[in-house]
Structure 1
Amino acid sequence: MTTAAAGPPVRHTHAITRDGELITKTFRSWSRGEPLREWRALRHLAETAPGLAPEPVAAEPLAEPPWLRMRVVPGQPVTGPWTDDHLDALAASMRQLWSVPVPTALDPIDFHSTAAWRDLVARTPELDPGPQRAVDLGIRRWIGSGELVDLLTADRPPILGQGDPQVGNMLYDAGRFRLVDFEDAGRSDLAFELANFAEHLGTRGTGLDRLADRFDVDPARYWLCRRLIASFWFFTLSTQRDRRNDEFVEQSTRLEALLDR
């Protein structure tokens, strides 16, 4: 979950070239260490869950620009609303991902920390008086509260989170999903990852919010995580109101409901 992912599910953080059955991903930005993060995740999955993600072949993650080479995986993103069969298949793939051993040296995903959220609040201008002002102030107060600290520091079983569940990163083929794009991957927890599926702007209207029904997740924690991730898109869209005001108003209404829940 990054600001680069804001808006429609189109990423411009890298370029992709294909040569036969090999894909080379060349990064255009890498300030958060994305190439090394993805390379380590792919190598780990090749050992612990072969076939779930692209097989890593070669890489220069510290070059300028960094690049990774991997084998092509079959499949296409689902277009339109997801069926129950799609959700069942995705649940099976995510359960496989979330069951792999989590390396002790794996960093948390970027927004699985109180500091990241408070930094986001600090660098996002407050709204002027108007219809969305109360939501803006309310979510800022909550992010500054001890409840957020408790939410993100609670002792929960760690999982390997993909970090960016937009539909283009999940390729469907012959009843199975394979996962691509692990540049945001890191240590996370079940409620946070499922909330990201439900609230990611790139999954809106797909029905992916029903994925959580297929997991035994703490409902209170899940809904607080949904509130948190919805706030990311609220703050992101608040800085783009000149061209995306309708989306911002819709997101404000969505976040208000989560604040009241």
Structure 2
Amino acid sequence: MTGDRVIKRFPRKDGGRAEREWRALSLLATYAPGLAPEPREADLAAPEPVVVMSRLAGAPLRGTAVEGKRIVALAKAVTTLYEAVPPDVVCKVPLRPGHQGDLVSRLNEWAVTARPRAGGPVRQALDAGLKWLARSGLGAGAPGDVSPVFGPGDGNLANYLWDGFRVQVVDFEDSGRSDRAFELAEITEHVGSWVEHPFDVTAFLEQFELSPAETVRLRESRRLLALVWLFLLAGEAMGHPRNPPGTVERQAGRMLELLA
């Protein structure tokens, strides 16, 4: 970070993260100026790619009580983000990493190769989640009755900055073509939305008018992402936990509640 700009460096083999970051900043500078950092320059062909952008003044929402006007501002920011890029442009944007098909494949692999040796409520939630996944039909691909949108691909509230008046968005390494319901689920189910302060999911989702198809899609996407997080947190609990004690048990409860 230098003065009024941020220099973001990526590892040699970054899996396309620098390209996605630059594409997102360029698209949003065109269609939603002020929502994200301004793109300054980039060297995507460098051995270690570099993206330079303006620096935003807000503070991350993660770790704060996101309520009242902050929830309204967050909803306004993501609505602008989803609606800004025209449909004909979105259709040309590659599918974001961690999309539905990708997550289903990962879960099916983890169920065999990395299933945590957990017991009690965590084992119950893992088993229930995998049974749901097997009959969900999500492995057949994304539904065709929801409109594609440009999505940031990361629901971590640390990427949403509050300056006292509005919310702006940073970190587009996993951005790409998605759909609104899936991206909303990214926010509601990210561990960062509840592990430190409870996030009022109901108040947040009430800010959006979802179609019947999106409502179903949101429910299934929340379950899918909650199961991914349950695997991640259960695996973490067996190794070197980064989150507070009891996090995986709380996630197990969230999983079972979403399946009820």
TM-score under structure 2 length normalisation:
0.85
Q: Could you say what secondary structure the match of 2:59 adopts?
A: coil
Pair 1:80 & 2:64 matched: yes
Pairwise CA distance, 1:24: 0.3
Match for residue 8 of structure 2? 25
Task: Give the total of aligned pairs.
Answer: 243
Match for residue 212 of structure 1? 205
Pairwise CA distance, 1:142: 2.8
Q: Which amino acid aligns with 1:227?
A: R
Q: Could you say what secondary structure the match of 1:195 adopts?
A: helix
1: distance between equivalents of 2:222 and 2:108? Answer: 17
Q: Which amino acid aligns with 2:234?
A: S
Residues 224, 146 of structure 1: CA spacing in aligned structure 2 closer, same or farther, 3 A cutoff?
Answer: closer
2: distance between equivalents of 1:220 and 1:168? Answer: 27
1: distance between equivalents of 2:48 and 2:116? Answer: 38
CA contact (8 A) 1:36 1:62 kept: no
Pair 1:169 & 2:153 matched: no
Which range moves more in the overlay, 76-85 or 55-64? 76-85
Unaligned residue ranges in structure 2 (runs of 5+): none
CA contact (8 A) 1:194 1:211 kept: no
Q: Which amino acid aligns with 1:108?
A: L
**Cα RMSD, aligned residues only:** 2.1
Which range moves more in the overlay, 149-158 or 33-42? 149-158
Pairwise CA distance, 1:144: 3.3
Match for residue 240 of structure 1? 236
Match for residue 158 of structure 1? 148
Match for residue 80 of structure 2? 96
Structure 1 residues 101-151: Cα deviation after superposition (integer angstroms, max 9, x where no partner): 243221222222324322233135224473233322332233333521467
Match of 1:117 among 98, 104, 113: 104
1: distance between equivalents of 2:127 and 2:14? Answer: 30
CA contact (8 A) 1:109 1:188 kept: yes
Q: Which amino acid aligns with 1:135?
A: A
Residues 45, 109 of structure 1: CA spacing in aligned structure 2 closer, same or farther, 3 A cutoff?
Answer: same
2: distance between equivalents of 1:173 and 1:46? Answer: 19
Structure 1 residues 157-199: Cα deviation after superposition (integer angstroms, max 9, x where no partner): 1111111122221111241111111111111111111111111
1: distance between equivalents of 2:224 and 2:108? Answer: 12
Match of 2:30 among 34, 47, 53: 47
CA contact (8 A) 1:118 1:143 kept: no
2: distance between equivalents of 1:38 and 1:144? Answer: 34
1: distance between equivalents of 2:174 and 2:155? Answer: 10
Q: Could you say what secondary structure the match of 1:145 adopts?
A: helix
Residues 174, 237 of structure 1: CA spacing in aligned structure 2 closer, same or farther, 3 A cutoff?
Answer: closer
Match for residue 226 of structure 2? 230
Residues 185, 30 of structure 1: CA spacing in aligned structure 2 closer, same or farther, 3 A cutoff?
Answer: farther
Q: Which amino acid aligns with 2:115?
A: E
Q: Could you say what secondary structure the match of 1:59 adopts?
A: strand
**After TM superposition, what 4+ stretches of structure 1 lie above 3 angstroms from structure 2?**
28-31
Residues 62, 139 of structure 1: CA spacing in aligned structure 2 closer, same or farther, 3 A cutoff?
Answer: farther
TM-score under structure 1 length normalisation:
0.84
Pair 1:178 & 2:174 matched: no
1: distance between equivalents of 2:98 and 2:199? Answer: 24
Structure 1 residues 188-220: Cα deviation after superposition (integer angstroms, max 9, x where no partner): 111111111111001113425232110012333
CA contact (8 A) 1:53 1:178 kept: yes
